């Protein structure tokens, strides 16, 4: 936070500015009245995080003559035309998706996020618009947050027939926003609905900003540390099969994304990661076949599994061992060198 220090001449100019000068007219966002949903509640919030619509008023109506006076219209009007600032998705033939590998039909939340999301992220993170990190966060937040809202609003099943879910639903935000609508036996007057819509927009927005804060300040720095660790680990294991971290970090999803994007060295896929735990001991963890899988690319050797301390050290021939899990997905040693010995011996097994 900072405060502009105005010179005396500027202060005088402001104080003596003619009172007849027109004040700045606020922009207006139009959306439908009546029962509201999560997609337009979030769309309105996101627009108010942009430079253009930061102080915008909201008109909730279905009257075309009123919507025509708005600067931008979302979730009503049966037209999607970016050049005219019209962002509805209910019309026949609408089949727009976010792209970038995402195939879910967009709601008004996704439409607004697609066009304005990078500006919102830049404004809240103070990253430059062209910074590659803005694009990374933009795609991540769509995957983890926005896509589910699009799918739910469009009635798309999360589990059609596939083994893997079609999209991720981390919050059930759509239901919580829906619950802010008046019950069937409560007043449905326009003031009550508008007041509740304001609460819904705030709820959706606060949750979005919370996710953005986490991904910008915790998730993204871990990605940078992983890239750095992959590069420095080449000294310990030139094949790239062992990655060594100097501190624990959430690495699984980043590793698979970097491998898919081919942003890691052209070596064989990582098999083990080595890192310190919260007690300053060291862990060896097998890389799973996918971020959420319990199956490892190569589990620690079967004869070591379920053993602890001296028995494990004698069996493996490696001093200072602590344990190897019964499934072989993780093990521990008192020292970094001991953990590396476990990983190297397991690779050669």
In a domain, 202, yes or no: yes
What DSSP assignment string belongs to 280-347? S-EEEEEPBSSTT-S-BSSPSPGGGTT-BHHHHHHHHT-TTEEEE-TTSSEEEESSHHHHHHHHHHHH
- The first and second tokens of residue 2, run together, are 């900072």
Same domain? 245 vs 341:
yes
Same domain, 167 and 98: yes
Give the number of C-alpha atoms closer than 13 A to the C-alpha of residue 146, restricted to the C-beta side: 31
CA atoms of 145 and 312, how far apart (whole Å): 44
Q: Are residues 264 and 170 both part of a single domain?
A: no
Whether residue 227 is contained in a domain is answered as no
In a domain, 6, yes or no: no
Residues 206 and 280 in one domain: no
Distance CA 35, CA 190 (A): 10
Contact 88, 76 (CB under 8 A): yes
Domain that holds residue 165: 23-220
Pair (288, 186) in one structural domain: no
185 & 46 share domain:
yes
Please say which residue of 220, 248, 273 terminates a domain: 220
Q: Distance between CA 150 and CA 108 in Å, rounded?
A: 8
| 56 and 177 inside one domain | yes
Residues 211 and 244 both lie in one domain: no
Q: Give Cβ neighbours of residue 16 (< 8 Å, ≥ 6 apart).
A: none
**Minimal CA–CA distance to 102: which of 167, 170, 165?**
167
CA distances from 156 to 17, 21, 160, 322 (A): 56, 52, 8, 48
Task: Give domain status of residue 72, yes or no.
Answer: yes
Q: Indicate the number of domains in the chain.
A: 2
* Domain contains 13: no
Q: What is the pLDDT of residue 277?
A: 93
Which of 150, 174, 154 shows the shortest CA–CA distance to 37? 174
What is the pLDDT, as a whole number, of residue 6? 36
Half-sphere exposure (Cβ direction) of 167: Cα atoms closer than 13 Å: 29
The answer to whether the beta carbons of residues 245 and 284 sit under 8 Å apart is no
Residue 8 within any structural domain of the chain: no
Beta bridge partners, 339, equal: none
- Cβ atoms 200, 41 nearer than 8 A: yes
Q: Which of 170, 198, 220 is the last residue of a domain?
A: 220
Position 192 scores a pLDDT of 94
Both 92 and 188 in one domain: the answer is: yes
In this structure, are 171 and 248 located in the same domain? no
Most distant CA pair in the chain, distance: 90
Instruction: Show which of 220, 250, 271 is a domain's final residue.
Output: 220
* The two three-digit tokens of residue 285, written as one number: 């963890």
What confidence score (pLDDT) does residue 5 get? 38
Does the residue 260 lie in any domain?
Answer: yes
CA-angle at 255, arms to 250 and 259, nearest 5°: 170
Low-confidence ranges of the chain (pLDDT < 70): 1-24, 161-163, 263-268
Residues 260 and 287 in one domain: yes
Model confidence over 136-181: pLDDT tens digits?
A: 999 999 999 999 999 999 999 888 766 677 887 777 899 999 999 9
Residue 151 lies in a domain: yes
Quick one: 178 and 307 in the same domain?
no
């Amino acid at each position: 936070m900072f405060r502009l220090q105005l010179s005396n001449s500027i202060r005088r100019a402001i104080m003596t500015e003619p009172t007849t000068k027109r004040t700045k007219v606020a922009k207006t966002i139009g959306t439908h009245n009546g029962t509201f949903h999560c997609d337009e509640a979030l769309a309105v919030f996101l627009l108010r995080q942009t430079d253009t619509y930061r102080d915008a008023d909201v008109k909730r109506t279905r009257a075309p003559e009123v919507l025509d006076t708005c600067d931008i219209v979302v979730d009503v009007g049966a037209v999607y035309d970016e050049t005219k600032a019209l962002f509805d998705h209910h019309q026949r033939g609408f089949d727009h998706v976010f792209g970038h590998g995402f195939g879910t039909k967009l709601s008004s939340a996704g439409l607004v996020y697609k066009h304005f999301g990078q500006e919102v992220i830049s404004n809240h993170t103070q990253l430059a618009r062209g910074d590659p990190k803005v694009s990374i966060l933009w795609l991540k937040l769509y995957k983890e947050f926005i896509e589910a809202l699009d799918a739910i609003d469009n009635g798309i099943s999360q589990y059609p027939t596939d083994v893997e879910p079609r999209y991720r639903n981390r919050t059930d935000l759509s239901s919580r926003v829906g619950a802010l609508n008046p019950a069937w036996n409560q007043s449905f007057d326009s003031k009550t609905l508008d007041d509740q819509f304001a609460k819904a927009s705030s709820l959706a927005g606060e949750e979005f900003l919370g996710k953005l804060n986490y991904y910008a300040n915790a998730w993204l720095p871990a990605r940078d540390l992983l890239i750095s660790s992959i590069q420095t680990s080449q000294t310990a294991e030139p094949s790239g099969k062992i990655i060594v971290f100097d501190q624990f970090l959430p690495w699984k999803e980043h590793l698979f994304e970097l491998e898919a994007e081919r942003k890691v060295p052209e070596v064989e896929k990582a098999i083990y990661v080595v890192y310190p735990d919260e007690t300053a001991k060291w862990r060896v963890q097998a890389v799973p076949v996918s971020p959420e899988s319990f199956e490892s690319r190569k589990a620690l050797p079967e004869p070591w599994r379920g053993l602890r301390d001296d028995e494990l050290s004698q069996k493996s021939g490696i001093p200072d061992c602590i344990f190897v899990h019964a499934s072989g997905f993780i093990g521990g040693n008192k020292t970094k060198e001991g953990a590396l010995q476990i990983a190297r011996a397991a690779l050669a097994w």
